[in-house]
Amino acid sequence: MKMTVENDPDKCVYCGGCVGVCPVQAITLKDTKIIIDKNKCINCGACVSICPVGAMKLKK
């Protein structure tokens, strides 16, 4: 099954770190929301590694 990246809005402090490390520009930050374009996302996990608060998770 394909893995997907998900953002947990309860943990997220919308610092935009995930946006900066995404190699395919699949993530945008709008106000206090992280929006992930699932079509662009390659599930590389860069955003998961960098997130200071553990708000990005790879899910099955």
Smaller CB separation from another protein, 33 or 38: 33
Binding site for another protein (CB under 8 A): 13-17, 19-23, 25, 28-31, 46, 49-54
Nearest to 50 by CA among 25, 28, 22, 26: 22
State the Cα–Cα distance between residues 10 and 43, nearest whole angstrom: 21
Smaller CB separation from another protein, 3 or 16: 16
State the Cα–Cα distance between residues 24 and 15, nearest whole angstrom: 18
Residue 8 structure tokens? 């947990």
Smaller CB separation from another protein, 1 or 7: 7
Tell the smallest beta-carbon distance from residue 32 to another protein (Å).
9
